[in-house]
Chains A and B, each alone.
Chain A
Amino acid sequence: MNNEYIPFSSEILEVIKHTDIEYTFRLAYKGEVRPGQFFEVSLPKYGEAPISVSGIGEECVDLTIRRVGKVTNEIFEHYVGDKLRLRGPYGNGFDIEQYKGKELVVVAGGTGLSPVRGVVDYFASHPDEVESMTLIAGFKTVKDILFLEDLARWRQSIEIILTVDCGEADAVCQVGLVTEHLPKLKNRNIQNAAAIVVGPPPMMRFTCLGLLELGYLESNIWVSQERKMCCGIGKCGHCKINDVYVCVDGPVFNYTRAKHLID
């Protein structure tokens, strides 16, 4: 019988530094994986942490990791050629098909951009598959901005609103919370407008409310939840909310379901 708890070793192929505390680790991986899914990444002695997939290549996956805990601190001591242990991918992830033909907006706060990067990247490369595509990406300050190169590349094919909570506005970056920029969305047919919202809980809550005020249908809004997860396979209980296990039923939820979840 399959023992889901045994991790496999994966070589670090590349380390991309975004900020002092946020790096993307490109890891060797062959197999099916969707944007929004996650891996349990571990280092023996230090433990495991659920990390969402921020990019998918032919024989690799990108994991964008923020250095904020015991496991991630240690991961940052590892460089190209070293190995991390992985198990997964887990969770439902985003279904690209659901957004095709829509007027799509992706609203991401901070590292929340990681799990949706694959979706944005897909439609930035295939802009003809959506009616329109806007990314609203918010960060604390200019120093915290992730995926700068991607943002520059995406700007050529999709609408980008890059914003920081505090600082000065310039040619590429605006100032203000992501919610302040929602009224700038120009939808031709609000019935066909879809949104993906990922970020810290208060940001997600207020963004969803803002979108609903603009007339977005509840069923056209998706969110991705972050919770403590020790197993990734519906056993450990840490990610349970109401009758839902974020690790197996999520982390991506339609708003019609997500709005009922009470932590």
Chain B
Amino acid sequence: MGYRMDQAGINRVFNGLAKEYRLFAPKCFEYEGAFSDTDSIHYGEVQTIEEIELMKKSNHSFKDALLPISETLFYFTEDEVKVADAPAKGALLFLRSCDLHALKRLDAIYLQNGEKDFYYKRLRDKIKIVLIGCEQAFESCFCVDMNTNRSENYDLSLDTIDGEYYLNCQFREWDMLLKENALEETIVMPKHVTETVTKVHVPDNLTAAVAASTMWDEYDARCIACGRCNFSCPTCTCYTMQDIFYTDNGKVGERRRVQASCMVDGFTDVAGGGSYRKKHGQRMRFKTLHKMLDFKQRFGYQMCVGCGRCDDVCPEYISFSNIVNRLDSATQEVSKNE
């Protein structure tokens, strides 16, 4: 069912939903950006619609809501282990279409690849989705080429037109609450992007053989292996285990998992000094092929959703979409040399 609402109405809806859910949405954090005098847009808890940044793309993805940067798995004493508590409330995530597609990728790794992940699942089971309608692509977006520009599997959609809000509800239980606070019932179709400025083409004949291309060498020096691309990516899921103990009682502590990056030193280090992919170009190749080839071979669809955040965040101005677009000539280069 669709609804038209004013600001007061939607805030009353938020208020109602807040009884059961924590609302996570993109927010503007003034002067917290990576560069001087810039703002940072990232996810945080909100109470009202005014707090949500609906006009700009968030620099960081929503994934921290499900996969915290650092997450305590359990607490330990000498003999006992206690599982960390989960938040009592569920979470309402405000996502653009690309990010909703990214959620499907997180599910693939955490729920389908091997055993289900206990910590992810208990958060995921209590998540509801608000789709933020997206009318126009941002400069670095390439969702259309990645087939992630449209989404249907949302609970509620949210579009802004002339200061009013248009919502489409697909979760029946909320209809009463929405109806009570709406100006009118109407048919609502969430907006979606149909064309992007940035375009990518993934060659159909792409194989792992492209690893032999010289294109990767360029990134040996240019990439500084900071890992920002991974941390801003909504589909990167890697983590590292970390034990910490309390300074006032060294026998008590906790095991955590912290987000990890395949671009950063130490990602492949094994005890005794062995490591793989020492060159930054090799890491760039590894990441690119994971996003554009390996994941698809395993799950049947591309991992990258074309949100373009890695392009926006790179301090060396490396463009991932450009890398993808070079795969065609790199594939030709490799087949010639064979």
- Which residues in A have some Cβ–Cβ distance to B below 8 Å? 1-7, 9, 42, 44-49, 66, 68-69, 71-72, 200-201, 226-228, 230-231, 233-238, 240, 242-243, 245, 247-248, 260, 262-263
Contact = CB atoms under 8 A, between A and B. Distances in A.
Contacts of A240: 290, 294
Interface centre among B74, B122, B277, B282 (most CB of A within 10 A): B74
A47 B74 CA distance: 13
Contact of A238 (B110, B208, B238, B243): B238
Given A238-B267, A245-B113, 9 more contacts: A3-B83, A42-B255, A47-B241, A68-B273, A227-B268, A228-B269, A234-B114, A237-B262, A263-B282
Given A228-B267, A263-B268, A44 B116 contact: no
A237 B260 contact: yes
Contacts of A66: 271-272
Contacts of B109: 234-235, 237
B115 A4 contact: yes
A44 B237 contact: no
Interface centre among A1, A45, A46, A48 (most CB of B within 10 A): A45
Contacts of B297: 242-243
Interface string B272-310: 111011000010001001100111011000000000000
Interface of B: 73-74, 76, 79, 81, 83, 109-110, 113-119, 121-122, 208, 211, 237-243, 245, 250, 253, 255, 257, 260, 262, 267-274, 276-277, 282, 286, 289-290, 293-295, 297-298
A243 B295 CA distance: 6
Given A228-B270, A242-B208, A235 B239 contact: yes
A227 B270 contact: yes
Given A45-B245, A238-B260, A260 B272 contact: no
A210 to B, nearest CB: 22
A234 to B, nearest CB: 3
Q: Which 4 A-B pairs have the closest CB atoms?
A: A234-B114, A69-B271, A237-B238, A68-B272
Nearest to A261: B208
A262 B260 contact: no
Contact of A44 (B245, B268, B295): B245
B38 to A, nearest CB: 30
